[in-house]
Amino acid sequence: MSVSQESFHAALMNPSAAIPKGLLDAVAQPAGRRFSVYRNNVAVSLTEAMHQAFPVITKLLGAQNMDGLSGIFLRKHPPSSPLMMFYGEEFPEFLAGMEQLSHIGYLPDVAQLELALRRSYHAADSEPAPADALAVPPEDIMRARLGFAPSMRVLRSDWPIYSIWRFNTEDNAPKPDLAAQDVLITRAEYDPVPHLLPEGGAHWIAGLQAGQTIGGAFEDTANHFPEFDLGATLALLLQGGAITSVTIERLAT
């Protein structure tokens, strides 16, 4: 009796499936519970990976609920590569689709934030632009285009994801108030740090990423967000070492 990896795999992922015939114990009897060791190893190791990947979601839901959710998730979305550092990409969408969790509407966006922090942690290293790269006349600043670090991430949310994240990771952080919050993640050296972006900040950075100048993106952002604070947003990027290049096109004279 030969056992294909197809049938081994199917029985591994379905705890109520019959154990494939042809697997034996030490005295040539059907393997029985011995097969469960593999079932357990797979489920436990992937569940453990989910706990590590989403500590704030785990805290919000409780470890037991997270175990249960992981059990469903890992069968629906098993890892697609051996790089476990990237496991859980589909988790935010999975959470959004869970009807039982629809009363906790912020969960998917908080999961996105945790994913983005992990992506940032493993992103390529980069050198920040020299400190004086923006020490130029204001009209030149407005014509500048910026390059960003691969470790930089921007998230937009209708929920107070920054405050929720802080409340669940820091002692004495203030209780979150209901508000839409956009988050900037920078990684000055090796540790990604989330920052609360001023209103319009995410819009402005997206304009720059699309190739707009600082001034061009500012005009566009100010139209949508009249209160947009360019200086505060730029300061967050500079302090986090997120700007890797500054290109200023000289006007033809």
Measure the CA–CA gap between 165 and 168, rounded to whole angstroms. 5
Q: Which of residues 179-238 bind another protein (CB under 8 A)?
A: 187, 190-191
Tell me which of 51, 52, 67, 79 binds another protein, using CB under 8 A. Answer: 79
SS3 225: coil
Q: Which of residues 150-169 bind another protein (CB under 8 A)?
A: 150-151
- In degrees and rounded to multiples of 5, residue 117 shows phi and psi of -65, -40
Largest CA distance in the chain: 91
Determine if 2 is a binding residue for another protein (CB under 8 A). yes
Residue 218 structure tokens: 């500012």
Answer yes or no: are the C-beta atoms of 159 and 105 closer than 8 Å: yes
Q: Which is nearer to another protein, 120 or 163 (CB)?
A: 120
Determine if 94 is a binding residue for another protein (CB under 8 A). no
Answer yes or no: are the C-beta atoms of 153 and 185 closer than 8 Å: yes
Residue 210 is which amino acid?
A: A
Segment interacting with another protein (CB under 8 A) among 36-44, 101-109, 224-232, 242-250: 36-44
Rounded to a whole number of angstroms, the minimum distance from the CB of residue 242 to another protein is 14
**Residue ranges that bind another protein, judged by CB under 8 A:** 1-6, 8-9, 12, 22-29, 31-35, 37-38, 41-42, 45-46, 49, 78-85, 121-125, 150-151, 187, 190-191
